[in-house]
Amino acid sequence: MTVDCFLKFFKFENAKTSSKNIELKNGKKIPLYAIEEISDIPGNKEYTYYSYNERTESYSIRKLYWDEGLLTHYLYHNEPEQLQKLLDSGVLYKEIIKKMMLANKAIDANVDEWEKNDTECQLAKINGETELYKRLLNNLRLQARTEVYKNILWT
């Protein structure tokens, strides 16, 4: 995204920006990193991460959805100092991905362990009840996700 487009469309009032700015040739200062929170019509939150590339003199953009969006929302509203540190250091996106990978590995490990000890799952698997088996695994995944997020992401 060009700097002109960024300046035209970016909503500074709905955003947090890095403390470090880049001064353009025309004297304007723009943030090196920024995260923008946008609410859609039903009130869902969407996050867009901007990272300025000095070599190309443009912004890279990443939309943060699903799990990445949940973690971003948590940081944005509950840990603003931590969010600011990550923005200032330029590692926000990297840290979000790292934490999500760690959380997903823990969720998968929990589901694998719980599946082995869940009689209903084992019976559905043995009896070839694929749809029931999938539903049971999804339920285990949701339970694991709740616990893992509490212990890994929200700490």
- pLDDT at 155 (0 to 100): 66
Tell me whether residue 64 is exposed, middle or buried, using C-beta atoms within 10 angstroms of its C-beta: 0 to 12, 13 to 18, 19 or more.
buried
Quick check: 35 and 47 in contact, CB under 8 A? yes
- pLDDT at 70 (0 to 100): 87
Question: 105: which 2 tokens?
Answer: 């590995």
Sign of the four-CA dihedral 62, 40, 88, 66: negative
**Residue numbers in the chain where pLDDT is lower than 50:** none
- pLDDT at 45 (0 to 100): 86
- pLDDT at 24 (0 to 100): 87
Separation of alpha carbons 37 and 15, rounded Å? 6
Question: 124: which 2 tokens?
Answer: 């559905």
